[in-house]
Amino acid sequence: LAQVFAPGAIYLPRAALANAAELWQETQRLLALTPTRHSMTKRGFYMASALTAIGSWGWVSDHKGYRYEAFNPETGLPWPAMPELFFQLAQRFAAEAGYSNFQPDSCVINDYVVGAGMGLHQDRDEADFQAPIVSISLGLPISFQFGGKARQDTPHRLLLSHGDVVVWGGESRLNFHGVLPLKTGYHPLLGTRRINLTFRMAYAHI
Ligand code: MD3
Ligand code: FE
């Protein structure tokens, strides 16, 4: 049951549930190849979530700013390849939301422990804002905040739970968004964590 959460933003509750165990198993294998790190923002603060990436491009943040790079600065190695299952699922969810030809060349893996959140921000380091971003949540639920085009616009909330998918495109693509600090809990598969996979077209054009 697809729900339009905001113009261009399609919420597919539990759409990835059937694949969640396999996604988590693969994610653990990938995390061993490309460990997460706490990036520093342009303003000099460490991000509360730890992140890494897979695919051709990974999102990198340091004193020079935000950008996509072909190598993980932490390991000096190319980001691990995106598993076919990840690509196919992301493409399928994008299509279900009405976005055809979604060909992600990057997947950012955000790892949250209890207390970690992400402040309101925009995702605008990608080449083509016509392409949506597909997000898959695994593990503990978190309170997602969806603002407007301006930082000061009052955010709406959406609880993102294990297996939930949201496709962010069209009118919603450049809206401010973030997540509140992760609350204590225990998830049978992931334990005390939350993982978010965001599939992006970093340099490809839709
Ligand atoms: C709305 N991640 O990685 S996922 C991010 O839960 C990020 O880890 C959050 O924001 C997380 O940049 C939120 C949902 C999401 C992702 C990208 C968006 C919502 C978005 C891009 C534009 C608008
Ligand atoms: Fe974001």
pTM: 0.97
Question: pLDDT tens digits, residue range 165-182?
Answer: 999 999 999 999 999 999
Q: How many folded domains does the chain comprise?
A: 1
State ipTM: 0.98
Task: Answer yes or no: is 177 within a domain.
Answer: yes
pLDDT at 109: 98
Task: Answer yes or no: is 206 within a domain.
Answer: no
Cα distance between residue 175 and residue 197, in whole Å: 18
pLDDT exceeds cutoff 90 at 104: yes
- Ligand 1 centroid to Cα of residue 5, in Å, is 14
* Region 18-36 average pLDDT: 98
Mean pLDDT, rounded, of the chain:
96
Instruction: Determine if ligand 1 sits within 6 Å of the CB of residue 166.
Output: yes
Task: Answer yes or no: is 10 within a domain.
Answer: yes
pLDDT at 45: 84
Parent domain of 65: 3-200
- Ligand 1 centroid to Cα of residue 59, in Å, is 13
Task: Answer yes or no: is 66 within a domain.
Answer: yes
Question: pLDDT tens digits, residue range 124-166?
Answer: 999 999 999 999 999 999 999 999 999 999 999 999 999 999 9
Q: Which CATH number is 102's domain given?
A: 2.60.120.590
Instruction: Determine if ligand 1 sits within 6 Å of the CB of residue 145.
Output: no
Task: Answer yes or no: is 158 within a domain.
Answer: yes
Question: pLDDT tens digits, residue range 58-78?
Answer: 999 988 899 999 999 999 999
Q: Above pLDDT 90, what percent of the chain? A: 93
Cα distance between residue 53 and residue 72, in whole Å: 8
Instruction: Determine if ligand 1 sits within 6 Å of the CB of residue 105.
Output: no
* Region 94-111 average pLDDT: 98
pLDDT exceeds cutoff 90 at 44: no
Task: Answer yes or no: is 205 within a domain.
Answer: no
pLDDT exceeds cutoff 90 at 42: no
Q: What residues have a C-beta under 5 A from ligand 2, the ion?
A: 123
